[in-house]
């Protein structure tokens, strides 16, 4: 087992860190305060290849592996979690299923601009009545005059207001449950497609989240991803990969909070000495470091396994569950170490604390990750 990153991975990580700290971190507080979408960050990241990291070079992507992706995404997340989720959704939830399940024409049409940050993608699975129980979705699809007609609405869609195209899941026949679901690439200019309510959120405020309304929305037959009825499996397999991204986002947020709190603890004095000299603070720093290291190992393992072409359902869920709970723990402790300053908007720690929470919710709650892990563990027993 080799825990040392190779030269390429070390280089891309350093490049991402330099870029994130110079270009992204200085703007993060203002974007958060104004809940302003990070358009310029996305454009710059597109130029660097970060918006389509695992797409092949011949389709305009960076042609890199999943480990490179998580190394870059951790650095972007440490600088601005809102920018990071925008990047993660475009890479994993939009480009991911097209690369895996799309035909050649779909790849040629949808990969290049989205991989280069010229266009942005989203993924629309959740509905008002189906979040965790994704197979219970009720958005319908019918085939009429050679076109698919979609009716329904989707909620909590990351990138929703800014997306140029969205992977949408709809059912042909509710009685078939998950087997009745298909996936479609729906462009924002499709007739009957509109953006609904834009969410105001606790954290990741600079990322955009909205509902999407499909009112007799017309989708060309050639925009169906996979076969009719394959949609649920496409959704689940896409989320396996997406969960590595959210785990990484959590790791980056936690790492940023830890770095800030550690430095603060060495500078802030109380009772005549830096607070880092107190064992109660040291205990916190030790627990924070431990949580982050364990999270990183789980994230890297899931990424490495994906690069080997292995099944990652359990490992991605473990990485996401552990890293998101670690981020919530670490950011809470960071606020505590900073005391009143941790609660103040003067410092970034309160933003890290707010941003961390969503990682325990989207792309499958912690409860769903536990369910996925338990099911896989039980399957392993009978294998």
Q: Give the footprint of ligand CAA on this chain (CB under 6 A).
A: 89, 123, 125-126, 132-135, 156-158, 178, 232-233, 236-237, 239-240, 313, 362-364, 368, 371-372
Smallest distance, ligand CAA to C-beta of residue 321, A: 12
Smallest distance, ligand CAA to C-beta of residue 125, A: 4
Smallest distance, ligand CAA to C-beta of residue 363, A: 4
Nearer to ligand CAA, 41 or 210 (CB): 210
Task: Return the structure tokens found at 315.
Answer: 């490992």
141: left (phi over 0), alpha (psi -120 to 50) or beta: beta
**CA torsion through residues 321, 325, 326, 328, sign:** positive
87 neighbors 20 (Cβ within 8 angstroms): no
Q: Is 363 a catalytic residue?
A: yes
Contacts of 322 (CB under 8 A, 6+ apart): 247, 294, 295, 298
Side-chain-side CA neighbours of residue 291 (13 Å):
29
Nearer to ligand CAA, 199 or 287 (CB): 199
Contacts of 350 (CB under 8 A, 6+ apart): 335, 342, 343, 344
Say what the alpha-carbon torsion angle 73, 75, 81, 82 is, to the nearest 10 degrees.
Answer: -70
Q: Which of 30, 227, 363, 376 is catalytic?
A: 363
295 neighbors 323 (Cβ within 8 angstroms): yes
Nearer to ligand CAA, 50 or 156 (CB): 156
**CA torsion through residues 14, 285, 242, 130, sign:** negative
Nearer to ligand CAA, 68 or 158 (CB): 158
Residues taking part in catalysis = 363
């Amino acid at each position: 087992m080799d825990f040392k990153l190779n030269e390429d991975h070390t280089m891309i990580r350093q490049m991402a860190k330099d870029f994130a700290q110079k270009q992204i971190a200085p703007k993060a507080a203002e974007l958060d305060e104004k809940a302003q979408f990070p358009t310029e960050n996305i454009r710059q990241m597109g130029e660097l290849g970060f918006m389509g990291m695992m797409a092949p070079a011949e389709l305009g992507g960076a042609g890199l592996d999943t480990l490179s992706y998580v190394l870059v995404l951790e650095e972007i997340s440490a600088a601005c979690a809102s920018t990071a989720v925008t990047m993660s959704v475009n890479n994993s939830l939009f480009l991911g299923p097209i690369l895996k399940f799309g035909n050649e024409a779909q790849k040629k049409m949808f990969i290049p601009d989205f991989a280069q940050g010229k266009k942005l993608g989203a993924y629309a699975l959740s509905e008002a009545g189906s979040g965790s129980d994704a197979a219970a979705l009720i958005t319908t699809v019918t085939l009429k005059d050679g076109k698919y007609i979609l009716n329904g609405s989707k909620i909590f869609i990351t990138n929703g207001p800014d997306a140029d195209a969205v992977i949408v899941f709809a059912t042909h026949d509710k009685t078939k449950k998950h087997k009745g679901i298909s996936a479609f690439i729906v462009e924002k200019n499709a007739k009957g497609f509109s953006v609904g309510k834009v969410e105001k959120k606790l954290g990741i405020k600079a990322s955009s989240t909205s509902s999407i309304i499909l009112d007799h929305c017309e989708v060309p037959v050639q925009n169906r991803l996979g076969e009719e009825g394959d949609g649920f499996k496409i959704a689940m397999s896409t989320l396996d990969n997406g969960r590595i991204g959210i785990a990484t986002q959590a790791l980056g947020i936690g790492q940023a909070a830890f770095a800030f709190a550690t430095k603060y603890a060495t500078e802030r004095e109380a009772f005549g000495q830096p607070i880092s000299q107190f064992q109660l603070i040291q205990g916190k720093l030790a627990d924070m470091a431990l949580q982050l290291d364990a999270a990183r190992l789980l994230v890297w393992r899931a990424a490495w396994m994906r690069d080997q072409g292995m099944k990652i359902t359990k490992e991605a869920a473990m990485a996401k569950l552990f890293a998101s709970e670690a981020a919530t723990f670490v950011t809470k402790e960071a606020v505590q170490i900073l005391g009143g300053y941790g609660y103040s908007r003067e410092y970034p720690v309160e933003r890290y604390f707010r941003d961390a929470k969503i990682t325990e919710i989207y792309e499958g709650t912690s409860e769903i990750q536990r369910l996925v892990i338990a099911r896989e563990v039980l399957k392993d027993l009978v294998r």
